[in-house]
A = this chain, B = another copy of it.
Amino acid sequence: MNADTSMDLSLLGAAEAASALAEGRISSEELVAACLERIKIDEERVQAWTYIDPEYALSQARAVDLMRREGKALGPLHGLPVGIKDIIDTEDMPTEDGTVLHTGRTPSEDATLVSMLRAAGAIIMGKTVTTELATYSPGKTRNPINPEHTPGGSSSGSAAAVAARMVPLAIGTQTNGSVIRPAAYCGVVGYKPSFGLISRHGVLKQSRPLDQIGVMARSVEDVALLAEQLIGYDENDPDTRPRARPKLREIAMQEPPLPPTLAFVKSPIWKQADAQCRDAFAELTAHLGERVEEFKLPDGFKNAWKWQQTIMEADLAKNFEPEYQNGRDKLSETLRSQIERGRKVRAVDYNKALDQIPALNSALNHLFELRYEAIITPATAGTAPKGLESTGSPAFCTLWTLCGLPAITLPLMQGEDGLPLGVQLVGPRGSDARLLRTARWLLAQVQSD
């Protein structure tokens, strides 16, 4: 049936695979089989999955192959396997939220985003490991680049599975730094769209003003392809809005009309960046020359981390109250402390913290309007820390997540330990397509050396 089966199809990016599928050069069954083969080889070492049923994945693939042969391809993701973080409801697989308290939980409905994936023809490959209730306490996943290191969290399994070529695409979520951090640690592209673009209905709720959906893949084009299918209004998520679907992929693939200028924002927590991160950014910004200018945020920004903590912990306390009331002995000490701090937060302080978000955004808008196409800043304080007892710090993502800005991490650099070091670009809220275009431009600047 095709000429490409001699190659390992797990090497294909999503966009490449989509073309090969559309042109009949490969079948979804072959692609899924190649990914399953990667899982078979590497899963014991990586531990990215909490639920996978190879036969069921193949049967979905055969079904979409049949549809395609009948001229009924569903959408741009037709035949592409996608890994789903295990806090996102699936009607045909368990969703256990990374806690023994939810063992055996079987939702009766797909999350909105899972329905949208199916409507676009995607194969729901399985459920990827998350940390405990998508907070800090690690799951079993290891970093595929070096299994002695953390893959990051909380979308640990999604990042590791994409890095290990077990799937070309995966879905994560970010309340603080849970898409960008694991993507950076595992050396893949992680993209967290602007707040409110992707519905969170059917996704474990940590914090309504902070929770955001993100995607992972191995190229900018691939994250654009995936995210574009997920963006849309959902009356079940009150923070989504009716609006035209942005042409993420088309615009991402264009050249910027003028060479962009980037603002290098060290951020008020720059002292947390380790030596190899600082050195790498010094080198990178030197290389970019006049295309990048250091920009110091006003002093008020240093409180953002505290405001985020106030909001997040108060919301964890409310949303995880059933788990706390009925099974606090089965929660990690870290999460229990977060909840206990959160229970004490006063409504006035919570709401004052929330009120800061538009104020921070308006200061950042000023930066973007001034002359900068995007902010360039580390994705993490350094490469993935050694050991599996922590998922590393989300601090370099906190501010942007709090503000709901679109962010992408690119695996542009490497530490002396051989592990990837992510470069994060952050754009104005709602200008997602332009951010992806700038990301591809940046890749070209660095890779053309």
* Chain A residues proximal to chain B, CB less than 8 Å: 238, 241-243, 314-315, 317-318, 321, 342-352, 355, 358
Contacts and interface: CB of A to CB of B under 8 A. Distances in A.
Contacts of A315: 347, 351
Nearest to A316: B348
A101 B315 CA distance: 35
B342 A344 contact: no
A344 B241 CA distance: 34
Number of copies: 2
B348 A346 contact: no
Nearest to A238: B358
B343 A348 contact: yes
13 contacts: A238-B358, A242-B242, A314-B348, A315-B347, A317-B347, A318-B351, A318-B352, A342-B347, A342-B348, A343-B346, A343-B348, A345-B346, A346-B346
Pick the 9 closest A-B CB pairs, nearest first: A347-B350, A314-B347, A345-B347, A318-B348, A318-B351, A347-B347, A317-B348, A343-B348, A318-B352
Contacts of A243: 242
A160 to B, nearest CB: 34
Counting chain B CB atoms within 10 Å of each CB, which of A343, A349, A350 scores highest? A350
Contacts of A242: 241-243
Contacts of A350: 347, 350-351
A223 to B, nearest CB: 27
Nearest to A345: B347
Contacts of A317: 347-348
Given A314-B347, A344-B346, 17 more contacts: A238-B358, A241-B242, A242-B242, A242-B243, A314-B348, A315-B347, A317-B347, A317-B348, A318-B347, A318-B348, A318-B352, A318-B355, A342-B348, A345-B346, A345-B347, A345-B348, A347-B350
A229 to B, nearest CB: 23
